[in-house]
């Protein structure tokens, strides 16, 4: 039975998850994520090894993982990007064959289910973020989902300084505890979660209907598997009259704040760029996605007339020239 340990934020939860499994050496991960994914590795003295993503989903490409495994590799840290489930079967199979741990950065994946239930059950651990920008939030917060009470006990001690009782400190823990006020916010959000997802689904459906067939605009594959509608990513590619940044600026001129998640790639930041695996020629799919990606506004209270107005600008940018 999966267990949950609440944390002060997703980044400390990631750092603690790596500690809990005793990960060392090199960890295979994706460059197409929020920078905290890789920062958690550096904070543990680990070396990230970047592997390119799949063009259809922008998740870590399982077909490229094995070529990146070395004798120092101990784990894989994939991201369910935009809430799209990774290919958990193939990743699990590779990990089993090479004796690697799998920690999913599930910061985008709260509420996502596959045929067997919550996708948070996959891998050795899954890590959530409850930051205010996420689909379910506690202002700041996070969690680790672990497989059994034993694993949860270990993680709960690590987030509380490693204390096991009043006079015993058994591990070098940290203070990662979620505060009560954040937990209270989470309880309020939970009450409304299903309804909020249903409203997001309507926003998603409206964008999809209006953007279908717009030359140069592509949605990601497998939309039906993204059951939490946390994001609405589009790729602004060849055949569109503007490049991505020009569309971003055009929307901004109309007071619409789209986000370039994830540009720049993690591998472009100065603490990563020197790594051999960070070379752009190693990451052609991610590099192109970073140039083309744009996440359109999506939140439960976004009314459908506004969604149509935003989609209209994307579909006919020339009519919206400033
Ligand atoms: C938000 C996010 C994090 C970090 O979570 P915080 O709660 O902000 O620390 C980590 N990974 C991904 C993919 C995220 O989107």
Q: Going from the N-terminus, what domains does the chain have, and what CATH number goes with each?
A: 3-184 (3.40.640.10), 194-320 (3.90.1150.10)
Give the C-alpha separation, 260 to 257, whole Å: 10
CB-ligand 1 contact for 31 (6 Å cutoff):
no
The answer, yes or no, to whether any atom of ligand 1 lies below 6 A from the CB of 34, is: yes
Q: Does the C-beta of 142 come closer than 6 Å to ligand 1?
A: yes
How confident is the model at residue 220, as a pLDDT?
93
CA pair distance 229, 195, nearest whole angstrom: 12
Average pLDDT estimate for 276-302: 98
Instruction: Flag whether pLDDT at 214 surpasses 90.
Output: yes
Check: CB of residue 7 under 8 Å from CB of residue 140: no
Indicate the top mutation candidate among 131, 141, 228 to test ligand 1's pocket, ranked by most ligand atoms within 8 A of CB. Answer: 131
Count Cβ atoms below 10 Å from residue 17 Cβ, excluding itself: 31
- The kind and range of the H/E element at 31 are none
Atom of ligand 1 nearest to the CA of 40: 10
The two three-digit tokens of residue 105, written as one number: 């950065």
Read off the pLDDT of residues 150-175 as tens digits, 9 standing for 90 and up: 999 999 999 999 999 999 999 999 99
The mean pLDDT value of the chain amounts to 97
pTM: 0.97
Residue 10 near ligand 1, beta carbon < 6 Å: yes
Token pair recorded at residue 142: 């996070």
Atom of ligand 1 nearest to the CA of 37: 11
- CA dist 9 and 31 (Å) reads 21
Confidence class of residue 306 from pLDDT cuts 50, 70 and 90? very high
Q: What was the pLDDT predicted at 223?
A: 86
Residue 204 confidence class, pLDDT cut points 50, 70, 90 = very high
The band of 222, judged by pLDDT with boundaries at 50, 70 and 90, is confident
pLDDT band at 76 (very low <50, low <70, confident <90, very high): very high
Atom of ligand 1 nearest to the CA of 108: 15
pLDDT of residue 18: 98
Q: Read off the pLDDT band of 146 (50, 70, 90).
A: very high
Which atom of ligand 1 is nearest the CA belonging to 142?
A: 7
Confidence tier at 17 by pLDDT (50, 70, 90) = very high
For residue 265, report the distance from its CA to the centre of ligand 1, in Å: 15
Establish whether residue 105 lines the binding site of ligand 1, counting it when its CB lies within 6 angstroms of any ligand atom: yes
Q: What pLDDT is recorded for position 322?
A: 72
The pLDDT assigned to 92 comes to: 98
Is the minimum distance from the CB of 30 to ligand 1 under 6 angstroms?
no
pLDDT band at 320 (very low <50, low <70, confident <90, very high): confident
pLDDT band at 136 (very low <50, low <70, confident <90, very high): very high
11 lines ligand 1 (CB under 6 A): yes
* Beta carbons within 10 angstroms of residue 121's beta carbon: 16
Q: Specify the ligand 1 atom closest to the Cα of 141.
A: 7
Q: Which residues contact 6 (CB under 8 A, 6 or more apart)?
A: 141, 142, 143, 177, 178, 183
Q: Which of 8, 18, 33, 34 to mutate to test the pocket of ligand 1 (most atoms within 8 A of CB)?
A: 34
Percent of the chain with pLDDT over 90: 97
Tell me which of 29, 82, 107 to substitute to probe ligand 1's pocket, judged by most ligand atoms within 8 Å of the beta carbon.
Answer: 107
DSSP state letter for 254: T
Q: How confident is the model at residue 30 (pLDDT cuts 50, 70, 90)?
A: very high
CA gyration radius, the chain: 20
Percent of the chain with pLDDT strictly greater than 70: 100
The alpha carbon of 106 and the centre of ligand 1 are apart by a number of angstroms equal to 9
DSSP class per residue in 270-308: TTTTTSGGG-GGG-HHHHHHHHHEEEEP--TT--HHHHH
């Amino acid at each position: 039975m999966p267990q949950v340990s609440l944390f002060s934020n997703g980044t400390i939860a990631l750092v603690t998850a790596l500690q809990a499994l005793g990960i060392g050496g090199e960890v295979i991960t994706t460059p197409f994520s929020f920078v905290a994914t890789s920062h958690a590795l550096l904070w543990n003295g680990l070396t990230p090894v970047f592997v390119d993503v799949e063009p259809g989903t922008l998740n870590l490409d399982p077909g490229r993982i094995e070529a990146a495994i070395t004798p120092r590799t101990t784990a894989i840290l994939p991201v369910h990007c935009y809430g799209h489930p990774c290919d958990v079967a193939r990743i699990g199979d590779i990990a089993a064959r090479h004796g690697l741990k799998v920690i999913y950065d599930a910061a985008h994946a709260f509420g996502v289910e596959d045929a067997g239930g919550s996708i948070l059950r996959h891998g050795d651990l899954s890590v959530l973020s409850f930051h205010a920008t996420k689909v379910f939030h506690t202002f700041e917060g996070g969690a680790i989902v672990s497989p059994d009470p034993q694993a949860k006990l270990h993680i709960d001690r690590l987030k509380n300084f490693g204390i096991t009782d009043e006079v015993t400190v058994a591990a070098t823990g940290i203070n990662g505890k979620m505060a009560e006020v954040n937990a209270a916010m989470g309880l309020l959000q939970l009450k409304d979660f299903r309804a909020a997802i249903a409203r997001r689904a309507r926003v998603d459906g409206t964008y999809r209907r209006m953007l279908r067939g717009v030359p140069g605009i592509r949605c990601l594959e497998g939309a039906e598997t993204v059951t939490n509608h946390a994001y609405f990513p589009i790729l602004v590619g060849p055949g569109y009259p503007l490049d991505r940044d020009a569309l971003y600026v055009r929307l901004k001129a109309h007071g619409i704040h789209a986000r370039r998640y994830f540009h720049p790639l993690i591998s472009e930041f100065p603490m990563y760029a020197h790594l051999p695996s960070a070379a752009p020629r190693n990451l052609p799919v991610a590099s192109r996605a970073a140039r083309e990606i744009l996440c359109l506004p999506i939140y439960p209270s976004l009314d459908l007339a506004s969604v149509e107005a935003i989609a209209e600008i994307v579909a006919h940018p020339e009519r919206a020239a400033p």
